[in-house]
Each structure stands twice: as C-alpha cells, then as structure tokens.
Structure 1
Amino acid sequence: MDIQLLLALVLGIATIIVLVLRTRLDAFVALLIAALVTGIVAGQAPLDIVTSITTGFGNTLASIGIVIGLGVGIGKILEVSGAANSLAMAFLKLFGKGREPWALGSVGALVSIPVFCDSGYVIMNPLARSIARVKRAGYITLALALGCGMTLTHHLVPPTPGPLAVAGILGADLGALILAGLVFTVLLLPIVIVYAKWIGPKIEPSMNEGVREVVYGTAQAQSGHRGATAVADRESRTGSGAVAGAGGDAPSMDVDNTTLGTPPEGAAPHRVGAFVASLPLLVPLLLIILNTVSGAIDQNNQGVVGTGEYVPSSWAVPLAFVGNPVVALVIGVILAVYILLPRWTPRSKVQGWFAEAAGSAGLILLITGAGGALGQVLRSSGVGDALAEAIAGTSLPAFLVPFLIATLVRLAQGSGTVAMITAASVTAPLVGSLGIDPIVAAMACTAGSMVFSYFNDSYFWVVTRFAGLDGVAALKGWSGITTAVWAGSIPLLFIADAVLG
C-alpha cells in the first residue's frame, strides 16, 4: 500500500480519537476534520475534498436520516405511554418464575430497538429492583442481564440509529440487516445470561450500601432480609417502586394521567396492553422484512443477479412501497400516537414529545452524515482502493477489518455509535473491491463496537450507578459482560461470511 495513502488513513482515524478524547470538540466535528486531514494527506485537491464531504454527507442522510427521526419518535411515545413497561411485564409472565434473568435480558433487547439504551435502562431498572426485592437476592444478575440485553439490539438491530447509519453508509439492505441483527441477538443472549448469572453472585457483596438499601431495605444489610417488605410497601406509597416483582402482587402498569394531558373527570388511569404496546414495533419491522423477502423471491424469479438492474414485478410493488423503511416507520409512528395514547392527550403534548425525540436524535444525524462524508473522501482520494489491495494481499479475512477498526475506536473513545460509523466509513470503499457482503461488513462494524464498555462510555456509568457497582466490581460486571458478547460475535461473523460471502 502506498505510504502516503496509508498515512492518510492512519492520521484520519487518529484525528477522530484525539479530538474526541483530548479536546472540547464532539464526534461530528471530529469526523469532518478527519475527512479534511485524510484528503489533504492523500493529496486530493482542496476543493475536491469539500465536494466529497458535502456529497457524502448529503447522500448518507438522504438514505437514512428520515428513518432515524421516525425511529426515535416511536421510542418516545413507547416511553411516555407506559407501553415499554407493559412489554416488560408480559415478558416476565411469559418466561415464568425462576427465569427472571432471561425475561429481563429479552425485554431489554426488545425495548432497546426503538429506545436509546440510557433512557431505556432508566425506564426498566425499577423492574429489576422490584423482582430482586421480592426474591430478596440477585439484583446484580438482573441489572447486568437487562443492561446487556439492551446493548445487543442497540448495537446490532435497526432502527437503532447506529446500525441504521451503518446500513446507509455501506448500502446494506435494511430488512436483511434487521434479520441478521436479530439472529445475532438471539445467539448472543445466552452468553449474556450465563455471564450475568456467573458473575452476579460474586460481585453482589460489593454493591454500595445506598443502592442495597433502596433495593433490599436497611434491615437486610444489617441482619438478613427483615424489612424488605416494609421498604416495598413504603415505595409503593411514595411511587418510587415502579413495579412489583415476579411472584409478588400484580404490578400496576397504569400511567399517571396528568403526564398525558388533562383527563376528563373520573377517567380511569391509562393502561396499555402488551399486544397493543408491541404493534408500533412489530408492524414496521414485519413490513420491512416482508419487503426484503418478497424482493429476494421476485429477483430470483426474474433471474436478476449480481449488479443487474432490478425492477419490482407488479405483485411486489405494493410490498416494496409499504415495506420501504420510511413508509413502514411512518405507519409505526401513526400507530404509536393513535393506539398508545388516550384520546384526550392534546396535540401540543404529542408535538412536544416529538420535539424532545428530535433533539436526542439531532447529534446522531450529524454524526451519521459526517461518517458518510469521511467515507466519500476515502473513496475519492484513493485510500479505499489502496487499502483493499493491501488487504487482498494478506491472509486476514476482509470482514475482520471493520470489526477491528470498530473495536479500536470503541476502546479509544467510548461511543459504540461513533465506533461503528467510523468503521463503516473506512470500510465502505472496500465492500465492492474485496467482495465483502454488505450485511457481513455491517455486522462486523456493529459487533466490533460492543467491546469492553468502561469509563469513557456514558452507558457504563448509567448501568454501574444504578447497579451500585464501583471500581473493580464494575469492570468485572459490566466491562466483562460486554466483552463476552463481543468475543461471542467473532465465530458468528465467520459463519455469516461463509454463508453470505
């Protein structure tokens, strides 16, 4: 590989890491500066660099920006309506007593598809505390299972913003990526549960006393389990205990009506059933997957292979329309607003929630676009082609390149989203020339970004603060479980490459 082009790539990635870690600039600006540095070092004309940046930014957001905005909107309505809690309780009932870690890991994975990990964990953590309070043991196991279940789909399954951005940058089919992400999630979830059940009892004695008192009650910390019931009763009176545990009294999934607007006099507390709560999630996902499956069948029937141009047959056009991610998620938003919220919720409330959701998605959109800009500079400057030729001359499987880039960036700067977008940006020019399947490349980017969540990751602090873990116990528990699923994804990537490559 040409030394100048190699230097351009190395300096570009180093620029992202140094700016995010050592300056007051965020990842959006860091990615743009990295694109400038890469283009200049590679010898690209200055005005051509600017053109590449604006072209890459626009093309990326054109394909994925609307979908990210709609996805976070659905997540916000699930949160405020109480639908997320209803889904959680349904999973507990489904798995049954004694399988609470499986239930919480599964519900965490489901809730984190449309809801950001941080807010999703805050919403669901009272459920883990209430179950532990009734069982009078096992809170750390439940907290880790819930948190890492959320990590899986947050990193692997669109319409979470990170995987959505990777799909847009790499040109991966969204429906196929959803299916692949769900398969990876199902196969990696046992690792989450086994690790949580193994490490939980070992580090539970290290839980700080403040959290222990909130979860179990003061008496447990002093002389066994006495007083846990009193704490549960006190929390139910003050409203700090969100739900009861499995095996306890039936939990209340009611939502305070005043948070949803001004209810009519005598209105019953708002409640959303689990089946209804699932519709804004399931309907869009099923439509997108149906579009992917029908398109594959139609292309096979037409004999379209390789880069041949595909025009949907008349029977496939309706499915292609409603299964387009934009249309599918518009349907999801409509379902969320009109079946999850009561009739008396005012328009101003709903619009305010969407504004909050848009605010949370704004930076993700900018980072996504900037990642596309960096990828375009890598293409137009020739760095991508040179890297492809260099990799082709080694024995390293090509799909491990994005996996390792995502791993290194995640370790350096903490954000899984930034890590997978950076890996996708660098990988995008290589997908065609090296013959990497876009789905495999996308899964490599997303799986690599799960490694060793620690002090520079905001979600690390969310989970460990709620779990009451500090120091070595926090690293053994949370950093360990995220590294376990990262390692577990490696053989799955080899299998995916053998099947799809």
Structure 2
Amino acid sequence: MTTQLLAAPLPHTSSDGVLLLAVLLGIGVIVLLITRFKLHPFLALILGSGVLAAVAGAPFDKLLASFSTGFGSTVASVGLLIGLGAMLGKLLADSGGADIVADTVLRRSSKRMLPWSMALIAAVLGLPLFFEVGVVLLIPIVILVARRGNVPLIRLGIPALAGLSVLHGLVPPHPGPLVAVDALKADLGVTLALGLLIAVPTLIVAGPLFARFAERWVGPLELPPAPPATEEKPERAPSFTAVLATILLPVVLMLGKALADVVIDDPKAMPQRIADFVGSPLIALLAATLLGMLTLGRAAGFTKARISTTMEKSLAPIAGIVFIVGAGGGFKQTLIDVGVGDAVSSWSAKWSISALLLGWLIAVLIRLATGSATVATITAAGIVAPLAADLSTTHAALLVLAIGAGSLFLSHVNDAGFWLVKEYFGMTVGQTLKSWSVMETLISVTAIALILPLSLII
C-alpha cells in the first residue's frame, strides 16, 4: 500500500524510546476500541492516530494535516481501484460471468485441489497486478467458488491472497522490487528468475498448506448472501472467452507496461509513454470496466439503463471499506511523519550482520512501524545500498528479495491492506490477525529461510 509522504514531517522532539511507546499505545488503543468497545474501525483509527501523535509530542494541528494527507492519498489510489473493481465485480456477478468462471474452476478441479487452483490463478493474475487490483478482481470469484463448491471461504481465500502477496513482494515488475533493483543496481532478469524460484515454494507453504490451519483457527466465515432469486436474470450468458478476456485485460496492460520499461527503457519515447499510461492500475482497471459493459453487460442482454443501474448499485456496499482503508492510510502516514521510520533507520545502522539478514530485518522493522510494504522496501534498500556494491550479481538480486520478504512481515492494524482484507472477507480483527497477518509473516519467514541457504550455493 503506497502513501504520499508529507513534504514536512510532523515536528517532534521525542526520543526513540518515546516513539516506540507512542507506536505501541497507538496500536493498542485501536485494537482495544475495536475488539472490546466495538467501535467502528474508522473512528478507532482516527483516535489511535491522536494517541500516537500526543505521546510522540506532535502538534495536533499538524496531526490533522498528516492524517488527512494519508487518508486522501490512500483513497485516491486504493479507493478508486476498489470502486472500479466493485463495478467490474458487479457486472461479472449480474451477467453470469462470475458463474461461468466458478463453474469452469469447479468442473476442472476436484474439491481437494480447489485451494491449489485458486493459488495458481492468483499467482498468474498477480504477476503484473498491484495487490489491491488483484483483490478486487479475485475476491468475487473466490466467494462464488466457495459457495458453489461448498468449501469454507478461508480455505480458498488464503491461497488467493498468498498468491497475490508473494508476487507483490518478491517479483518485479511490482513497484517495491523494482525500486530495490534500481537502488541496489541489481540485474532485473536475475532478480526476476530468482524471485520466481523463491516465490513458488513460499506460495505453497503460505497458501494451500497454511490454509488448512487458518481454517481451524478462524472458524467458519459467513458468505455474503447470494443474489435474491427474484432478481431479474440475464437473457443469455457471456462466453467464457469474453469473461476471461475482460478479467485479463488489466493483466495484459500492466504486463505490457513492465515489458516496455525493460525493453525500451526510455521515458521520453512515445511507445513507452503510451504503455506507461495504459498500464497504470487506474487506467487498466478502467479499461476493463468499460470493456465489461460490452462483453458482460451487453452480451448478457442488458439494456443501457440496466448497466447503469448495475454500476450504481455496486458502489453503495463498498463505502465503508473505502473509509476504513483510507483511515488505515491516515494512521500509517501519521506513523511515518512523527519520525518512526527515521528512528528505525538509526537503530539499524548500529547492527553488524550479513547484508541479506540486515536488509530483511530493517524491512521488517519499518513494515511493523509504518504498515507500508513499499515504504519498508524503499527505506531498507536505501540503507543497505552501500553494501550491495561489493556483492556479486546473484547476491545483489538475493538482497532485493530479502528486503522484499521483510517488507511483507506481519501486516496489522497500521496497514490499509489489513482493513481491505478484513472487510472483503467479513472477518473480525482477531480473525484477520489469525489468518491474513499470520499468512504475511509466514511468507516473510519462509522466503528469507530459502534465500539465506540459497546464497551459500550460488
């Protein structure tokens, strides 16, 4: 989850110890208000930000600007994607397109293999997609497959989320790995190859295998209600090819952007400028939504009026999600602006350990403190960049992966992605911690456990 940084951080005079206390109290207040007092997460995140700023010694007028900046930038990026994804998801559901995908997956996979199928689908879609885009495209299909196959939602949801998250943190062309590749002067092709090598076993462990435990820890989740039987049925169903083409359009556009960045590598060249524009997440998902109006809506016999009604109805249920995710971004921005990231950087400078483990640990600390995988990757890469000058090509690539693995560690209440997953799956904070947060930690630990021994043999 990316967030625009303020030009001027919040003024503070707190020591590193006071900052740590502020972080712990801020997070503790949020968890307590939600779990014990049943306060809405949007309000809890606002109050938690106030506690954080007060303990850290930041002026409250600056707190408002910091929280507003984080909220606004998160809603502007993630909120727009959620809105477009909701429109496309509603078109998929109402036109029968999601039914076709679900039936195809169920027909070609046994009940036992469904988690593995969802992990594979998520990994393929997640290669070029931003995590948030992948979530809004995949979750409606995951829910429908769970309902049709009579499979617990968490058993399919964890493999899908793991597929998206592993690719997001470890494999270019995602923004975090790309920034680290540039900062460490690593070879992109080697990083991509090693990233896929690490990603496959990591996905197996954190996806289908962990889903068995998460299912027991979380318990049964209530599936969103199916569309009412009295709802007007489509005259005909769109073809599987049309549905697949619509879903994969953002994938193709973003992958084209990534290839253009590698092959052309000239920001001023017109082909790359075009690829960068149409391959941005917002434009790619907008294009898929507009295409879906034809390939899903019109193909199902919908009138223009019904397509418009479908679009309108898709937005109401996601209002709460957008506000909660935005508030999560505001809390994260407050953490960054009171100087938590700088404090973590200063602590890390005092350590004397291997470059790979150091990069992972720095990314872990910044991830825990700020909630942002991208901020953790960028900061950690900048800190260990001098060490990369003496590394071989393969070890520089492994350092990129170590930092990416650390950036995924233990997503919790200061990560807007935590709230995105919680709301989409209808889980409590405790259930989200037991499933999503543990899954992210497992990805991080498994990846570094593979990277370190691999560094000894290549």
Alpha-carbon offset, residue 52 of structure 1 = 1.7
Distance 1:93 1:185, change over 3 A: farther
Q: Distance in 1 between matches of 2:102 and 2:87?
A: 20
Q: Distance in 2 between matches of 1:397 and 1:90?
A: 45
Distance 1:181 1:79, change over 3 A: farther
Kept in 1, the 8 Å contact 2:86–2:318? The answer is yes
Matched residue of 1:316: which SS? Answer: helix
Alignment of 1:457-468 (within 5 A): none
Alpha-carbon offset, residue 323 of structure 1 = 0.9
Distance 1:363 1:196, change over 3 A: closer
Q: Distance in 1 between matches of 2:378 and 2:55?
A: 18
Does 1:73 find its partner at 2:87?
A: yes
Which residue of 2 is the match for residue 492 of structure 1? 447
Q: Which amino acid aligns with 2:159?
A: G
Which residue of 2 is the match for residue 82 of structure 1? 96
Q: Distance in 2 between matches of 1:180 and 1:362?
A: 40
Q: Distance in 2 between matches of 1:406 and 1:172?
A: 15
Q: Which amino acid aligns with 1:287?
A: L
Alignment of 1:260-279 (within 5 A): 260=232, 270-279=236-245
Q: Distance in 1 between matches of 2:340 and 2:439?
A: 33
Which residue of 2 is the match for residue 382 of structure 1? 339
Q: Which amino acid aligns with 1:340?
A: L
Alpha-carbon offset, residue 393 of structure 1 = 2.6
Does 1:368 find its partner at 2:325?
A: yes
Kept in 2, the 8 Å contact 1:145–1:193? The answer is yes
Q: Which amino acid aligns with 1:295?
A: D
Q: Which amino acid aligns with 2:67?
A: I
Distance 1:404 1:82, change over 3 A: farther
Q: Distance in 2 between matches of 1:154 and 1:448?
A: 16
Distance 1:53 1:275, change over 3 A: same
Alignment of 1:13-162 (within 5 A): 13-92=27-106, 102-103=116-117, 106=120, 113-115=134-136, 120-129=141-150, 145-153=155-163
Matched residue of 1:384: which SS? Answer: helix
Distance 1:333 1:187, change over 3 A: farther
Kept in 1, the 8 Å contact 2:359–2:402? The answer is no
Deviation sequence 1:191-247 (CA, Å, 0-9, x none): 4445678999xx9xxx99xxxxxxxxxxxxxxxxxxxxxxxxxxxxxxxxx9xxxxx
Which residue of 2 is the match for residue 331 of structure 1? 287
Q: Which amino acid aligns with 1:128?
A: G
Alignment of 1:198-277 (within 5 A): 259-260=231-232, 270-277=236-243
Kept in 1, the 8 Å contact 2:362–2:380? The answer is no
Q: Distance in 2 between matches of 1:319 and 1:72?
A: 25
Alpha-carbon offset, residue 282 of structure 1 = 0.8
Alpha-carbon offset, residue 480 of structure 1 = 8.5
Alpha-carbon offset, residue 319 of structure 1 = 0.8
Higher alpha-carbon deviation: 68-77 or 112-121? 112-121
Alpha-carbon offset, residue 59 of structure 1 = 2.9
Distance 1:60 1:33, change over 3 A: same
Identity of matched residues, %: 25
Does 1:448 find its partner at 2:410?
A: yes
Which residue of 1 is the match for residue 272 of structure 2? 316
Kept in 2, the 8 Å contact 1:101–1:193? The answer is yes
Which residue of 2 is the match for residue 434 of structure 1? 383
Q: Which amino acid aligns with 1:35?
A: S
Q: Distance in 1 between matches of 2:310 and 2:92?
A: 11
Alpha-carbon offset, residue 62 of structure 1 = 3.0
Q: Distance in 2 between matches of 1:479 and 1:198?
A: 10
Deviation sequence 1:239-275 (CA, Å, 0-9, x none): xxx9xxxxxxxxxxxx9997456x7xxxxx5223322
Distance 1:60 1:102, change over 3 A: closer
Deviation sequence 1:146-190 (CA, Å, 0-9, x none): 3433342565678xxxxxxx979x9999xx9x9999988754453
Alpha-carbon offset, residue 427 of structure 1 = 4.7
Aligned equivalent of 1:295, options 248, 261, 264: 261
Higher alpha-carbon deviation: 50-59 or 327-336? 50-59
Q: Distance in 2 between matches of 1:68 and 1:198?
A: 29
Alpha-carbon offset, residue 289 of structure 1 = 2.1
Runs (5+) with no aligned partner, structure 2? 1-14, 127-132, 169-173, 182-188, 221-225, 386-398, 413-417
Deviation sequence 1:90-120 (CA, Å, 0-9, x none): 3455568985664465468779935588754
Deviation sequence 1:117-166 (CA, Å, 0-9, x none): 8754542124324xxxxxxxxx78xx7653433342565678xxxxxxx9
Kept in 2, the 8 Å contact 1:388–1:433? The answer is no
Alpha-carbon offset, residue 69 of structure 1 = 1.5
Q: Distance in 2 between matches of 1:337 and 1:374?
A: 36
Distance 1:144 1:338, change over 3 A: same
Aligned equivalent of 2:249, options 277, 280, 283: 283
Which residue of 2 is the match for residue 416 of structure 1? none
Who wins on radius of gyration, i.e. which is larger? 1
Kept in 2, the 8 Å contact 1:55–1:376? The answer is yes
